[in-house]
Chain A
Amino acid sequence: MSERVWSVPELLDARHLQTLRRLLERVLPYPAIPDGPTVSDTVAYVLRRLEHEDRALFGPLEQLLERTAGSEDDWLQAAASTPQYPDRGVFEALRGWAWDGFLADPRWGVNRGGRGWTHLGWGGPPRRREAGAGEGR
């Protein structure tokens, strides 16, 4: 499968980028898989989502990054343990993006080599497998 080269929008300053990275690493630490999914790829992916599909989340996320720099663990603990927590929506978005980075189709610039899929025991998109060889598992 051909993997396109993605641009990385410059939406956040270096300090906010660092906080975003620290949050994503904590939300979902990726197992050490050689040449596998990386948090750096996921950070770039999140920035692209913020420019398009998840534009509405940019403001709340930027405010959160401003507030939580250096206290990421405290915030995560509070947001995860309180369903009605004010920032709960941002927490769930971060968790969703982190999963995307690990398990979405590599054509989105994440999940390098489909190794996240392999880690969970999935052989890849079945329709493509079907087109390639045989049918189903």
Chain B
Amino acid sequence: MIVDDPVDVVVVGLGAAGGTLAAALAARGLQVLGLEAGPQLDPTTDYRDDELEFAVDRRLCWQEPEVLEYEGSELVAPWLARNRGVGGPHVWSGFAYRFHPSDFRVATEVGVPADSSVADWPIDYDVLEPWYEAAEELVGVGGTAGNHPYEAPRRGPYPGPPVPRVPGALRLEPAARALGWHPYQPPAAVLGAARDGRRACSKCGLCTNYACHRGAKASSDVFALPAGYATGRLRTRARVLVTEVVCDPADGRPVAVRYLGPDGVAGEQPARAIVLANNATYVAKLLLQSRSARHPRGIGNASDQVGRHLTFHTGGVAWGVYDEQLFIDSGPAQQVAVDDLNEDRPWRAGAGFRRGGVLHGGMPVSFAGGPLTFARSLGGVAPLPEGVPEYGPGLMDFATYAYTRHQAVYVLGEDLPQAQNRVVLDPVRTDSAGLPALRMVYRRHPEDVLQVDHLLDAATRLVEQSGAHTVASAAAPVPGGMFAGHAHGTTRMGRDAATSVADDTGLVHGTENLFVAGAGLFVTGAGLNPMLTITALALRAVDRIAAAAGGD
């Protein structure tokens, strides 16, 4: 086995959290090595606009078999939209929300529903607010401050202007107002104007599933890593799969990570501080794989909390076909949002669930992309309207008519954490590295079932109100956030080591130098997209990690 020269910090996973941390720690004067299981993206092959490669075959996503035990059924597929490659997230859409203050204190706000593991975060919104501001500046978030009544408190305008609008969005806003709601254009990590050497969005419509060829959509290879490389203290290695955290057998202290390199040769990277910043599900898998005499259930898992409280977001879609052409394929996804059904507002109005979600409208039913993505979604992600056949000339005629004349409203809801919803190591199946496959055990909470029905009904009403003559809707067949890579809660943060995995900076309980980063830290998932909160938490953790690594 190769044993590399020690570094101050090794960061595992170079997406939003890992890329941000690697660059910031290098700026603190630390020698940082970033290890990424995916490749270094190649502009000649990885930034293309081919729907077959990127939306159908998901070139930028991992394709490992993952086992989903959902409502008692076992399903095997590459379920998670896990990004592959240095400097992600590349495949995401770019929604860049701050969570609401109530999202940090759900137990206080609405109590703890039976059979849930709802709890308050150990930090509140006010603690994270300066880091949200820093994250927006780093990422280059564009938006319009004060454009809806439920906006989280902020001290100033967004760093950039909002993204360009598309015609369909302009139909949804008056419709939402007619329903008594307060529609707004959501904040985007997509540039509405050039900034820091990145070009503005050109409305190519290829956001979700694609790397942005203009650098307009934020990924850490454009907003963070270049500054890290410029210090001369950050190195990154691609196609290096970390398989285990190695501990000193004498005292159990984490001292290195073990990996499989690009050539399949095993190696060990010693470091003074170790940061696990890959996808929330795979951080948990990595901790569970790191078993030793000192940590027989996996490092950080003395209280059997690693992998638990897994949430994904609920999901569903309503879409409609209109008389006139909307060309909804020409724009980024941040067009129209409705937050009136989020947090506990539906509950206060008498609904049978306590936490709601957001509606996102003004995008294709395939979320992004061109005609192939649209057509392939018909009968799949996109439920077919009544009377449209599943195949044959009727399907072709419908697709031909509907492609330029449709738009969708997507539901994204907060699912309640439950202790038994968790990541475990599959006892039978293995991944391509010969390690236990990821196994996700998930069942919906009864309140989540009511919530999705409620939000989907609202989305359908919005589409109908906006003038669509043909409408269809359906809840996501599996947790909706799986398609978006929204896994949270597997390494929950908290003050009590008996009920959490890490403290509020991501320091794993019982260690002094092992950190976790990313959405695994979330105590509850909120009814909003997670990326900005992931980045804000990462920025907030820099001081603590630097101190653990011996930096200033």
Contacts and interface: CB of A to CB of B under 8 A. Distances in A.
Contact of A120 (B48, B390, B393, B404): B404
Prevailing SS type, chain B contact patch? loop
A28 B391 contact: yes
A4 interface: no
A108 B376 CA distance: 17
- Interface bin, chain B: 35 or more
B470 to A, nearest CB: 17
A31 interface: yes
A137 B327 contact: yes
B252 to A, nearest CB: 43
B49 A126 contact: yes
Interface stretch (B201-209, B296-304, B354-362, B498-506): B201-209
A30 B375 CA distance: 13
B403 A125 contact: no
A130 B52 CA distance: 20
A76 B403 CA distance: 25
A127 B206 CA distance: 9
Interface in B208-262: 213
Given A29-B396, A80-B390, A116-B371, A105 B204 contact: no
A136 B370 CA distance: 13
A108 B372 CA distance: 13
User: Which residue, of A107, A135, A136, has the highest number of chain B Cβ atoms within 10 A?
Assistant: A136
A95 B392 CA distance: 10
Interface string A100-128: 10111101100000001101111001111
B108 interface: no
Contacts of A119: 400
A120 B16 CA distance: 36
A121 B396 contact: no
Contact of A122 (B202, B203, B403): B403
A60 interface: no
Given A76-B391, A136-B203, A121 B49 contact: no
Name the residue in B56, B205, B371, B404 with the highest tally of chain A Cβ atoms < 10 Å from its Cβ. Answer: B371
Nearest to A124: B370
Contacts of B379: 92, 95
A58 interface: no
Given A100-B52, A121-B404, A126-B206, A28 B372 contact: no
Given A120-B404, A122-B371, A107 B392 contact: no
B110 interface: no
Contacts of B393: 29
A96 interface: yes
A26 interface: yes
Contacts of B204: 126-127, 130, 136
A105 B330 contact: no
A128 B330 CA distance: 14
B511 interface: no
Interface in B325-384: 325, 327, 329-330, 370-372, 375-376, 379-380
B190 to A, nearest CB: 14
B137 interface: no
A2 interface: no
B128 interface: no
B49 A99 contact: no
A27 interface: yes
Contacts of B122: none
A105 B392 contact: no
A121 B376 contact: no
Q: Pick the most buried of B330, B380, B392: most chain A CB atoms within 10 A of its CB.
A: B392
Most buried by B among A76, A126, A127, A128: A127
A137 B50 contact: no
A13 interface: no
B50 A105 contact: yes
Contacts of B372: 99-100, 103-104
A128 B47 CA distance: 11
A81 B379 CA distance: 11
A28 B389 CA distance: 11
A74 interface: no
Contact of A127 (B57, B213, B330, B391): B213
B57 A126 contact: no
Interface of B: 48-52, 56-57, 202-206, 213, 325, 327, 329-330, 370-372, 375-376, 379-380, 389-393, 395-396, 399-400, 403-404
23 contacts: A26-B391, A27-B392, A28-B395, A29-B392, A80-B391, A92-B379, A100-B52, A100-B372, A102-B375, A103-B372, A104-B372, A105-B50, A105-B52, A119-B400, A120-B375, A122-B403, A126-B203, A126-B205, A126-B370, A127-B49, A127-B204, A127-B206, A136-B202
Interface of A: 26-31, 53, 76, 80-81, 91-92, 95-96, 99-100, 102-105, 107-108, 116-117, 119-122, 125-128, 130, 135-137
